[in-house]
């Protein structure tokens, strides 16, 4: 990696709840603030540390829900107030990214900005940093929006896909189309075609390129943030953001800009990547016992195979005769669910909220 650049900034998106990872991920303590992999640091701490060789620490911004401000401060006590961008309500990724990018551009109009979620796992860190460096080099020189595409290892139906136009002379290739989460049949065709990659939701662009894209494709959002840009880094910022979010529509960056813009390019990476959005995605990347179990807890297992078990360390858990199950306990909830039915977890959360109360979600 090159020397740290004062013109490089990182935006970490950390406002989501991660309800598919319930009961571990909860409204008052989402998964990005947990040590999901059992490595001694939270997912958001791992994410921020990943960029320690990319830019100065003071150039890292975390966008989160206002109710998580104290959690961010707990995990990053040395971050300044201006580095923690507080959203009063969730409005999806486009407003979140607009807030951060318009604010950074106010401080440094020449900024090159990396945007990344707080809760992704990347096992091949050097390969990731190489992709980031390549993206910074092209995005700083051209009016393009760069995204990272993950070379797929299986026909996964839980990820969005990007189709690209192969280009042998450069690392960044023109994006042909974005595809939403496919059926298994479509996912198989994507893999067979060889020109589809997983959409990691990691972006690199120059401040002026993304501001131009907002003005072109999401003018209503751009107008809102430009109207009060002078309030950034002042005591008026919170009030401005409250008013802005109250009038801002809910829209993703993919739908609002990336799928419409003509200047989107993708850099391919084999990164050992997972968004850890579900229990099975954690199972796929975690170390396993000879019986195929992923275990984080004090357990005694008998005739139990291919399970993921995450339970409190201060409770002995004895399991006999389970195969392909999720056993997860956190706080006041114990969930036992077949791995093949993990998509029902969101239903469990809805039902628990409706019938048992907010303290369970």
pLDDT in tens, the chain (361 residues): 445 689 999 999 999 888 889 999 999 999 999 988 888 899 999 999 999 999 999 999 999 999 999 999 999 999 999 999 999 999 999 999 999 999 999 999 999 999 999 999 999 999 999 999 999 999 999 999 999 999 998 898 888 999 999 876 778 999 999 999 999 999 999 999 999 999 999 999 999 999 999 999 999 999 999 998 899 999 999 999 999 999 999 999 999 999 999 999 999 999 989 888 889 989 988 999 999 999 999 999 999 999 999 999 999 999 999 999 999 999 999 999 999 999 899 999 999 999 999 999 9
Q: Which of 308, 325, 309 has the alpha carbon at shortest distance from 317?
A: 309
C-beta atoms surrounding 212 within 10 Å = 17
What tokens appear for 82 in the block? 């201006």
Half-sphere exposure for 66 (CA within 13 Å, toward CB): 10
Q: Let me know: does 124 contact 271? Beta carbons within 8 Å.
A: yes
Q: Say how far apart CA 41 and CA 61 lie, in whole Å.
A: 19
C-beta atoms surrounding 306 within 10 Å = 16
Kindly report each contact of residues 17-21 with a partner whose C-beta sits within 8 Å and lies 24 or more positions away, as own/partner: 18/119, 18/277, 19/345, 19/346, 19/349, 19/361, 20/277, 20/278, 20/279, 20/342, 20/343, 20/345, 20/346, 21/276, 21/277, 21/278, 21/279, 21/282, 21/345
Q: Output the pTM of the full model.
A: 0.92
Half-sphere exposure for 193 (CA within 13 Å, toward CB): 16
Phi-psi region of 357 (alpha: psi -120 to 50; beta: other; left: phi over 0): left
Q: Say how far apart CA 326 and CA 345 lie, in whole Å.
A: 11
How does DSSP classify residue 258? I
The dihedral formed by the CA atoms of 6, 12, 13 and 16, expressed in degrees to the nearest 10: -160
């Amino acid at each position: 990696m090159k020397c740290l650049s004062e013109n490089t900034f990182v935006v970490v998106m950390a406002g989501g709840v991660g309800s598919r990872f319930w009961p571990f991920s909860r409204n008052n303590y989402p998964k990005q603030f947990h040590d999901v992999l059992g490595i001694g640091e939270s997912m958001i701490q791992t994410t921020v540390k990943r960029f320690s060789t990319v830019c100065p620490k003071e150039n890292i911004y975390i966008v989160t829900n206002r109710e998580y401000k104290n959690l961010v401060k707990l995990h990053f006590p040395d971050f300044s107030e201006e580095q923690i961008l507080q959203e009063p309500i969730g409005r999806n990724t486009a407003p979140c990214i607009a807030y951060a990018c318009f604010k950074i551009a106010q401080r440094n109009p020449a900024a090159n900005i990396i945007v990344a979620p707080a809760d992704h796992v990347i096992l091949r860190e050097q390969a990731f940093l190489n992709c980031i460096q390549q993206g910074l080099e092209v995005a700083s020189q051209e009016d393009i929006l760069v995204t990272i595409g993950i070379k797929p290892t299986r026909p996964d139906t839980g990820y969005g896909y990007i189709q690209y136009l192969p280009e042998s002379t450069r690392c960044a290739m023109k994006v042909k189309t974005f595809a939403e989460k496919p059926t298994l049949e479509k996912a198989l065709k994507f893999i067979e075609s060889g020109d589809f990659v997983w959409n990691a939701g990691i972006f690199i662009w120059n401040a002026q390129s993304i501001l131009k894209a907002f003005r072109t494709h999401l003018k209503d959002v751009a107008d809102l943030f430009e109207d009060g840009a002078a309030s950034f880094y002042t005591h008026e910022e919170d009030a401005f953001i409250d008013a802005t979010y109250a009038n801002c529509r809910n829209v993703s960056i993919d739908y609002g800009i990336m799928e419409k813009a003509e200047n989107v390019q993708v850099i391919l990476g084999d990164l050992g990547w997972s968004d850890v959005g579900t229990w099975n995605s954690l199972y796929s990347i975690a170390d396993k016992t000879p019986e195929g179990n992923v275990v984080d807890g004090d357990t005694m297992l008998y005739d139990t195979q291919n399970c993921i078990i995450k339970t409190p360390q201060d409770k002995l858990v004895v399991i006999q005769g389970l195969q392909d199950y999720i056993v997860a306990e956190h706080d006041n909830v114990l969930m036992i669910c077949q791995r093949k039915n993990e998509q029902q977890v969101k239903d469990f959360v809805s039902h628990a909220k409706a019938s048992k109360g907010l303290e369970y979600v």
